[in-house]
């Protein structure tokens, strides 16, 4: 290995360490930090972010990349991939001043604390001035880059490299009418019963059972843990320290199972990345959509499947006999897949979930363009919910304040949730061709073959391949909605007798 490559890896390793230290502080902010610590935490994150940014955008890094690109161009090696990804990151980072990175850390840390308070009190006015600052910074961030086909392209590219807004809008434009038509057919069918899902369940027992499930999936608790937070998430500090958070909702107690499955899908991806990529730009999942494909696969394609219900319901009934004593696996399966327009995105059924994402995409584009006033967002949100799903949020907590993402400035992230749904089913069709008895394995509570397939085809590669290239390498097609439409149509035609 060349001396220059070693020099680059050493610098990028330090940058990685600084970024992971910041991630630890962010995790602690959501899990452990007392409310009064917000201002100081924002300054700490700003300091780390500024130092990391300065190191990653130094002239020395730029010179090393220029020289190494000549040496490794055209190779399919890990080194060539690392240089390609590092050069891309460098190009983007050098356009953004370090002072802006520090300011953004301070503003978003305060915005998160305001969001927590606002959601708890269901009062958007508490969060509004912070969101106005965040949106202003996002608009400023866009201004650092050359004009794109669409300003939103610059934001989307941070989470889904190479994807364009026009591509997403085209995919959503073809998908939306098919999902709306399916929902229309379901609405005229006999509704399934799910009252037993909303009875009182002991929180600790639900929490413990969720850890049993994800442990059997393959989430390695010797390299991870599950803690409580206001919003479930996964975060990684290294391949050997990958953590998730979860929450318990008394009105929807078993949602803890599915959010646990979801976050463990993200976490198992991170735990499966090639350890040799540690402290390099190749570490971690390749994009938000591919990452989301893993979480949605374990949550929905596995966790909401009939074979899964047949495996786990008997054990669940022993834990909650009074709530589930007369419930069959088929009834449980139908109940957890009930299609009903709902207020909260993370609890939405598969048939309506993507409509929640499309609403958020529309709002983000309007906010960035300055075509909506932040003060009017609750009213606009409620109007779009009525138009899209036929329901109106009763308050801000169940409407505009339900997601944490905008407090952190994560504009451009939401579309990748729906794209991840599409990728999950593209992968699922290929998996079922390669593992012909997959349903039977799930029915027996065996997940080794599935996780092994994902490790080999997706996880181990980290950032080595661009997301669209990786999806095409594995499935033979770039991100496409056809498999998802086939999956939804088959599943819900069987459940609702369409």
**By the 8 A CB rule, do 428 and 297 touch?**
yes
Catalytic residue among 79, 113, 263, 270: 263
Q: Write a three-state SS string for the chain.
A: CCHHHHHHHHHHHHHHHHHHHHHHHHHHHHHCCCHHHHHHHHHHHHHHHHHHHHHHCCHHHHHHHHHHHHHHCCCCCHHHHHHHHHHHHHHHHCCCCHHHHHHHHHHHHHHHHHHHHHHHHCCHHHHHHHHHHHHHHHHHHHHCCCCCCCHHHHHHHHHCCCCCHHHHHHHHHHHHHHHHHHHHHHHCCCCCCCHHHHCCCCHHHHHHHHHHHHHHHCCCHHHCCEEECCCCCEEEEECCEEEEEECCCCCCCCHHHHHHHHHHHHHHHHHCCCHHHCCCCCCCCCCHHHHHHHHHHHHHHHCCCHHHHHHHHHHHHHHCHHHHCCCCHHHHHHHHCCCCCCCCHHHCCHHHHHHHHHHHHHHHHHHHHCCCCHHHHHHHHHHHHHHHHCCCCCCCCCCCCCCCHHHHCCCCCCHHHHHHHHHHHHHHHHHHHHCCCHHHHHHCCCCHHHHHHHHHHCHHHCCCCCHHHHHHHHHCCCCCCHHHHHHHHHHHHHHHCC
The set of residues, in sequence order, having a beta carbon less than 8 Å from that of 354 and lying 6+ positions away, is 172, 175, 176, 179, 418, 421
Nearest to 300 by CA among 169, 442, 199, 194: 442
Q: How many CA atoms lie within 13 A of 380 on its CB side?
A: 14
Nearest to 346 by CA among 441, 277, 412, 247: 247
The verdict on whether 71 is a catalytic residue reads no
Q: How far apart are CA 217 and CA 78, in angstroms?
A: 29
Encoded tokens for 66? 């220029």
Phi, psi of 244 (to 5 degrees): -130, 160
**By the 8 A CB rule, do 277 and 77 touch?**
no
**By the 8 A CB rule, do 330 and 339 touch?**
no
Tell me which residues are annotated as active site.
Answer: 263
């Amino acid at each position: 290995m060349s001396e220059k490559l070693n020099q680059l890896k050493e610098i990028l390793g330090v940058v990685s360490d600084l970024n992971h230290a910041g991630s630890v502080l962010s995790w602690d902010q959501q899990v452990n930090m007392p409310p009064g610590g917000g201002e100081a935490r924002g300054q700490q994150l700003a300091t780390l972010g500024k130092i990391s940014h300065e190191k990653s955008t130094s002239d020395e890094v730029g010179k090393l990349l220029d020289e190494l690109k000549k040496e490794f161009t055209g190779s399919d090696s890990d080194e060539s991939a690392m240089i390609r990804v590092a050069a891309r990151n460098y190009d983007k980072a050098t356009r953004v001043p370090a002072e802006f990175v520090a300011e953004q850390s301070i503003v978003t840390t305060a915005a998160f604390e305001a969001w927590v308070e606002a959601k708890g009190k269901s009062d958007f006015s508490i969060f509004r001035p912070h969101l106005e600052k965040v949106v202003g910074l996002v608009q400023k961030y866009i201004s650092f880059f050359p004009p794109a086909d669409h300003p939103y392209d610059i934001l989307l590219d941070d989470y889904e490299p190479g994807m364009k807004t026009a591509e997403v809008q085209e995919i959503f434009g073809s998908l939306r009418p098919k999902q709306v038509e399916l929902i229309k057919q379901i609405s005229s069918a006999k509704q399934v019963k799910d009252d037993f899902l909303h009875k009182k369940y002991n929180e600790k027992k639900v929490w413990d059972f969720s850890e049993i499930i994800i442990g059997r999936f393959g989430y390695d608790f010797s390299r991870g843990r599950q803690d409580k937070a206001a919003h479930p998430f996964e975060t990684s500090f290294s391949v050997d320290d990958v953590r998730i958070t979860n929450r318990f909702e008394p009105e929807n107690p078993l949602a803890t199972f599915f959010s646990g499955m979801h976050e463990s899908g993200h976490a198992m991806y991170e735990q499966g990345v090639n350890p040799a990529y540690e402290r390099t730009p190749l570490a971690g999942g390749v994009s938000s959509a591919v990452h989301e494909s893993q979480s949605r696969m374990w949550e929905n394609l596995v966790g909401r499947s009939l074979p899964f219900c047949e495996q786990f319901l008997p054990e669940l009934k022993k834990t909650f006999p009074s709530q589930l004593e007369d419930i069959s696996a088929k009834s449980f399966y139908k109940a957890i897949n009930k299609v009903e327009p709902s207020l909260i995105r993370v609890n939405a059924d598969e048939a309506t979930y993507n409509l929640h994402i499309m609403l958020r995409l529309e709002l983000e584009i309007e906010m960035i363009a300055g075509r909506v006033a932040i003060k009017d967002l609750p009213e606009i949100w409620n109007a779009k919910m009525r138009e899209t799903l036929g329901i109106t949020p009763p308050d801000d907590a169940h409407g505009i304040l339900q997601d944490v993402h905008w407090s952190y400035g994560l504009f451009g992230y939401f579309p990748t949730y729906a794209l991840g749904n599409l990728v999950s089913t593209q992968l699922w069709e290929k998996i079922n061709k390669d593992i012909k008895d997959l349903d039977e394995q799930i029915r027996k509570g065996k997940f080794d073959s599935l996780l092994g397939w994902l490790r080999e085809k997706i996880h181990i590669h980290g950032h080595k391949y661009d997301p669209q290239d990786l999806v095409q390498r594995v499935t033979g097609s770039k991100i496409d909605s056809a498999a998802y439409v086939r999956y939804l149509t088959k599943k819900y035609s069987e459940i609702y007798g369409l």
